[in-house]
Structure 1
């Protein structure tokens, strides 16, 4: 399982990101026509006209105060976490995610 720029709880985002996410809705669709997100969506979506519905669904999810931390240690498959140096998640959230998967808690024993 490869997770790119993914968090396990809403509080992992920087506060200013949460404020921006709360604003996502279909009302933003006309302003997103030139964005990579819109262009990627319409290139593959069977119903490109549903882009506003996607924004409503994303906004509704991002306004929730979710926390999947109890489920993270239950993942049994190998997991790769990938984050950027200017990501929307706090570095301490990324580290905690890695630790909940069992990483970084002791020497890997490779030598």
Structure 2
């Protein structure tokens, strides 16, 4: 092999190696950029999880408070029964008052007739 052929082969090898190094450098840049994006995304996700965990804790307390202070079906039934009893008593009182008014009118009519 002649010296020129050797030099030509070496130039081709150097050229291929330089092209590969350029691709490698470009890939490393893309990799660094991807890593930075990933780090930002993970940080954003951590912040979101932290906020959500705080919100969940607040909601747990709210649910516990509601469970302690929420009226049950039985409480509503008892309230409804008490209100119904009160209305029934009022209706009986009005019925007695009506009966007394009828008697008073009869007495007034008797007195007018005399």
Question: Which bracket does the TM-score occupy, shorter chain normalised?
Answer: under 0.3
Q: Give the TM-score taking structure 1 as reference length.
A: 0.19
- Answer 1 or 2: which has greater strand percent: 1
Q: Work out which structure has the larger RCO, using CA pairs closer than 8 Å and 6 or more positions apart in sequence.
A: 1
From the CA coordinates, give the structure whose radius of gyration is larger. Answer: 2
Q: Give the TM-score taking structure 2 as reference length.
A: 0.19
- Answer 1 or 2: which has greater helix percent: 2
